[in-house]
């Protein structure tokens, strides 16, 4: 989870999955240091695998979903900036009114602007 991939914001979002990861890690430690039922090759191996496999699985999925979402966000922002340069930004209330009679009078440009704007601001 290199900082160059995720900004602070994203890391904060991802922290929600760090908690279960930490709990699992904690139990790996506990079971390794304080084995209540002794060590024995196969059971201990299974015991650890049952913790480590979900740990790795969750870490991988969190990483890739975080990356996908961060990338998409950057895309949205870039698009928004491009549009904002082209025309004035509509407030979201007006967007609502416009969409009311969009069929009678499709006003594509403005409509999209407002939308993109609110999209980004909601993130």
Partner 1 sequence: MEISGALLPAIPAQGAGVGTSGQLALTVLMGVFLVAVFLALTRAEDWRTYTPLAGGGYGESGHHVRHKPEGITRWLTTVDHKDIGMLYGLYAIVAFVWGGLAVLLMRTELFTPSMDVLGAVAGGTNAGNALYNGLLTSHGITMLFLFGTPIIAAFSNYFVPLLIGADDMAFPRINAIAFWLLPPGALLIWAGFFVPGLAPAQTSWTMYTPLSAEQAGFGADLMILGLHLTGVSATMGAINFIATIFTERGKNVNWANLDIFSWTILTQSGLILFAFPLLGSALIMLLLDRNFGTAFFAVDGGSPILWQHLFWFFGHPEVYILVLPPMGIVSYVLPRFSGRKLFGFKFVVYSTLAIGVLSFGVWAHHMFSTGIDPRIRASFMAVSLAIAIPSAVKTFNWITTMWNGKLRLTAPMLFCIGFISNFIIGGVTGVFLAAIPIDLVLHDTYYVVGHFHYIVMGAIAFAVFAGLYYWYPIFTGRMYQRSLAKWHFWSTMIGTNLTFFAMLLLGYNEMPRRYSTYAFNADWAPLQTVELLHQAATLGAFILAFGQIIWLVNFVQSWYEGPEVDGDPWGLRDTSLYGREFEWHERRLQTAVTDGGEEDEVATDGGVDETAAEEAVADEQSDE
Please, which residue, 2 or 41, has the CB nearer to partner 1? 41
- Residue among 28, 27, 26, 14 nearest 58 (CA): 14
Cβ–Cβ under 8 Å, residues 87 and 115: no
CA distances from 17 to 62, 70, 103 (A): 7, 16, 44
Take residue 123 and report the two structure tokens written for it: 């993130």
* 99 lines the binding site for partner 1 (CB under 8 A): yes
* 14 lines the binding site for partner 1 (CB under 8 A): yes
Q: What is the 3-state secondary structure (H, E, C) of 38-53?
A: CCCHHHHHHHHHHHHH
Give the x/- contact pattern for partner 1 in 41-80, rule: CB under 8 A: --xx-xxx-xx-xx--xx--xx--xx-xx-xxx-xx----
Give the footprint of partner 1 on this chain (CB under 8 A).
13-14, 16-17, 19-21, 23-24, 27, 31, 35-37, 40, 43-44, 46-48, 50-51, 53-54, 57-58, 61-62, 65-66, 68-69, 71-73, 75-76, 92-93, 95-97, 99-100, 102-104, 106, 108, 111-112, 115-116, 118-119, 122-123
């Amino acid at each position: 989870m290199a900082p160059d991939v995720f900004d602070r914001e994203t890391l904060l979002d991802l922290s929600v999955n760090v908690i279960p990861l930490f709990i699992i890690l904690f139990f790996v430690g506990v079971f390794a240091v304080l084995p209540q039922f002794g060590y024995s090759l196969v059971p201990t191996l299974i015991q650890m695998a049952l913790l480590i496999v979900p740990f790795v699985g969750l870490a991988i999925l969190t990483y890739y979903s975080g990356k996908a979402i961060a990338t998409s966000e950057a895309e949205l922002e870039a698009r928004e900036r491009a549009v904002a340069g082209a025309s004035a930004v509509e407030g979201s209330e007006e967007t609502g009114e416009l969409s009311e009679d969009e069929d009678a009078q499709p006003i594509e440009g403005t409509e999209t602007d407002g939308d993109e704007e609110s999209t980004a601001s909601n993130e």
